[in-house]
């Protein structure tokens, strides 16, 4: 009798597992296709964020959810702006970023890549939007205190991050791409690179 119950449980679990696997595979397929479309991805995220902000504004509630979302996005932003190999830790281990022109050049690699940053923010806004559908998450709080605390936290965190950038001389953004100009070095003042 125990064998027939196990067979029935296995038989009912098999279609569910197959359906979950197919859904996961389809989701990953569309996620992979969106990888090179940076602008479209961020426009979609901006749309979801706008819907969330409008919903919170018109409902006049869910401030605690918004505060948690803000803290999470601040955490993601720190990871996005930080280098993968933290220079403070490397100094303790003996390795460090180049400080002289003769040192080896190492490009800036983010701790949190842009795609994962986008995906995490989109997921966070989507979850927060779903949470606004349930009144159990609408905890009454005095929102100006939360807003003030978040702004203070943001300012102190960004101040620390900017000091870190200045101390270790890295910029997490690339404004223009350097291009090799060829043998025409006399026109550029002896430099073989120009910015586009």
Confidence of residue 27 (pLDDT cuts 50, 70, 90): confident
Supply the pTM of this predicted model: 0.72
pLDDT at 83: 82
Q: Quick one: pLDDT at residue 12?
A: 66
Residue 180 has pLDDT above 60, yes or no: no
Percent of the chain with pLDDT over 90: 45
Stated as kind and residue range, the H or E segment containing 193 is strand 193-195
pLDDT at 56: 95
Instruction: Identify the helix (H) or strand (E) that includes residue 180.
Output: strand 178-180
What residue spans define the domains of the chain? 20-195
Confidence at residue 192, expressed as pLDDT on a 0 to 100 scale: 47
């Amino acid at each position: 009798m125990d064998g027939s119950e196990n067979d029935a449980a296995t038989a009912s679990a098999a279609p569910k597992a197959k359906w979950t696997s197919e859904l996961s595979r389809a989701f990953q397929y569309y996620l992979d296709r969106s990888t090179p479309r940076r602008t479209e991805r961020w426009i979609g995220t901006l749309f979801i964020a706008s819907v969330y902000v409008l919903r919170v504004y018109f409902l006049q509630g869910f401030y605690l959810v918004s505060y948690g979302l803000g803290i999470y996005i601040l955490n993601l932003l720190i990871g996005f702006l930080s280098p993968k190999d933290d220079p403070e830790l490397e100094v303790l281990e003996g390795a460090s970023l180049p400080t002289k022109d003769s040192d080896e050049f190492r490009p800036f690699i983010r701790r949190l890549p842009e795609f994962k940053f986008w995906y995490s923010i989109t997921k966070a806004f989507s979850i927060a939007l779903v949470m606004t559908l349930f009144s159990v998450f609408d905890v009454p709080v005095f929102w100006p205190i939360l807003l003030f605390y978040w702004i203070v936290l943001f300012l102190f965190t960004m101040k620390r991050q900017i000091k870190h950038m200045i101390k270790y001389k890295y910029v997490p953004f690339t404004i223009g791409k350097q291009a090799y100009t060829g043998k025409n070095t006399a026109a550029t003042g002896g430099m073989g690179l120009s910015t586009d």
